[in-house]
Amino acid sequence: MPPATMSPVSLTPTINPSRLFNASCLALIVTAMSFALRGGAMASWTTEFHLTNEQAGWINGAAFWGFTLAMVFGGPLCDALGMGRIVRLAFVGHLAGILLTIFAWDGWSLFGGTLIFGIANGSVEAACNPLIAGLYPSDKTTKLNHFHVWFPGGIVIGGLLAFLLGKLGLGWKVQFATMLLPLAAYGFLFLGQAMPRTERVQMGVSTGDMFRACLNPVFLIMVVCMFLTAATELGPGQWIPSILENAGVSGILVLVWITGLMAIGRQFAGPFVHRLRPMGMLLGSAIVSALGLFLMSRSQGPMLFASATVFAFGVCFFWPTMLGFVNERFPKTGALGLAVMGGAGMLSAGFVLPVIGRSYDAGIAAGITTGIRDARVPDGATIDSLRSAAAGSEQAVEWMNIQAAAGLQALGDVAILPAILTGVFLLLLVFGRPGARVTPD
């Protein structure tokens, strides 16, 4: 990259906060688009590469593991290597991941492309979270919310592209290629730009102090809470399209609706941050998330959109507010603290998805047993026999009803996570005074 522009008077590299912020948002759009496009491509992958659904699931899951690896290792390296080098790694990883996925020749090459893409996604978070915290030290939580608008926003973009291009008969390879446009844009915006030092370096906090700060008991509690907040947001989000499709509504449109509302909410997070403070926002989010999941488990048809709306506003502020709170409360944790939080969040998604799936499977098995007992399905019916029932037949309709009931109940079971969070956040709010801004000592 060419050298950063120098001020003619001070010869100090000129930092352009607006350009760096916009570049970060575009990088996050690429990250988020991949989540939607991979979900839409999985069915095609199983056919084209002769994969089982389990193998396709492992391939999709590689993005989460790659994300976590990049966050855990990229956080400590962010100070040593500089945020600019981490951003370059993200750009190269995104480019390589897109091309390797498009030109994949078997399941392993597809797995490799997804893993590389996941590492690039994690590198974006590892670099851009501390970058934005450093660019806007007096308004971190609000600006991190504005930045994270583009995670749900990118999912909306990717989901709509997948839907529209699919209707035009353009397959998943063309859909993946669309990510090259925002990729080129963020690469150009970052090109030649001076980066600020991380806030931890500016404060003169040593590496040892950074690691010691991450051992603060309240920080560790917040890491555990990050597991639960991210699982509440990402787990149901990955399952909603398939579950709600059986419940009589378009699952993909519900997902677009949820993520669209989240994007709008994060864009206007400022007044909530200043009025409620971060911990108040987290407490409210936990309560509303639990209510939304409970309502979804009890809703049918169009009412699912209403309950999904409640859920969307519940999870809307979780991720960016957790990051903003930790960085304000424990500034000495620096980029490492943000990386640990983000890595914990993505790691939790890898664990909660199969747990929800197991609950879903158990509900289906129980539904079949109940159906046999009540004579709604033939004696001896199995998943395979119901799945192969002729479209429009009584058995096919009953199969959809069983799946819908089991899936919605599985979503309702997740409500235990925000219910636990409600208790933890309430205790922290009452006894810890964690909403107050902390000045580094």
CATH class of domain segment(s) 213-441: mainly alpha
C-alpha neighbours within 13 Å on the C-beta side of residue 186: 27
Beta bridge partners of 6: 13
Buried b / exposed e over 88-99, threshold 16 CB at 10 Å, is bbbbebbbbbbe
In the chain, the percentage of residues whose pLDDT exceeds 70 is: 85
Tell me whether the CATH fold assigned to 16-197 matches the one assigned to 213-441. Answer: yes
Assigned token pair, 28: 């996050």
In whole angstroms, give the CA distance from residue 246 to residue 408: 10
Identify the pLDDT of residue 79: 65
In whole angstroms, give the CA distance from residue 128 to residue 149: 14
**Which region, left, alpha or beta, applies to residue 204 given φ > 0 means left and ψ of -120 to 50 means alpha?**
left
Assigned token pair, 393: 């037949």
Whether 115 shows a pLDDT value over 60: the answer reads yes
Containing H/E element for 386?
helix 383-387
pLDDT band at 273; cut points 50, 70, 90:
low
Q: Which carries the bigger pLDDT value, residue 287 or residue 60?
A: 287
Candidates 66, 5, 14, 136; CA nearest to 342 is 66
Identify the pLDDT of residue 100: 92
pLDDT band at 6; cut points 50, 70, 90:
very low
Contacts 24+ apart (CB under 8 A), 45-48: 45/110, 45/172
Which residues have a Cβ under 8 Å from the Cβ of 305 and sit 6 or more positions away? 249, 254, 257
Assigned token pair, 25: 């948002």
Q: What is the dihedral of CA 21, 143, 337, 281, to 10 degrees?
A: -160
In whole angstroms, give the CA distance from residue 284 to residue 254: 23
In whole angstroms, give the CA distance from residue 267 to residue 205: 32
Identify the pLDDT of residue 345: 86
pLDDT band at 151; cut points 50, 70, 90:
confident
Q: Are 429 and 320 in contact (CB under 8 A)?
A: no
Per-residue pLDDT tens digits for 391-440: 777 777 787 888 888 888 988 999 999 999 999 999 988 876 544 443 33
Domain ranges of the chain: 16-197, 213-441
Identify the pLDDT of residue 286: 95
Write down the residue that tokens 């960085």 correspond to. 327
3-state secondary structure of 13: strand
In whole angstroms, give the CA distance from residue 325 to residue 225: 12
Q: Tell me the average pLDDT across 324-328.
A: 81
* Phi and psi torsions of 13, nearest 5°: -55, 130
Candidates 321, 313, 322, 365; CA nearest to 341 is 322
Write down the residue that tokens 């759009």 correspond to. 29
* CATH tag for 16-197 (out of 1.20.1050.10, 3.30.56.10, 3.30.930.10, 1.20.1250.20): 1.20.1250.20
Q: Are 109 and 100 in contact (CB under 8 A)?
A: yes
Size of the chain, expressed as the number of residues it contains: 441
Q: Are 115 and 234 in contact (CB under 8 A)?
A: no
Assigned token pair, 69: 């690896």
Give the largest CA-CA distance in the chain: 86
Per-residue pLDDT tens digits for 161-194: 887 887 788 888 999 999 999 999 999 998 887 7
Write down the residue that tokens 């839409």 correspond to. 40
Assigned token pair, 33: 């688009």
Write down the residue that tokens 């590469």 correspond to. 49
**What is the reported pTM?**
0.74
DSSP character string of 308-335: HHHHHHHHTTHHHHHHHHHHHH-GGGHH
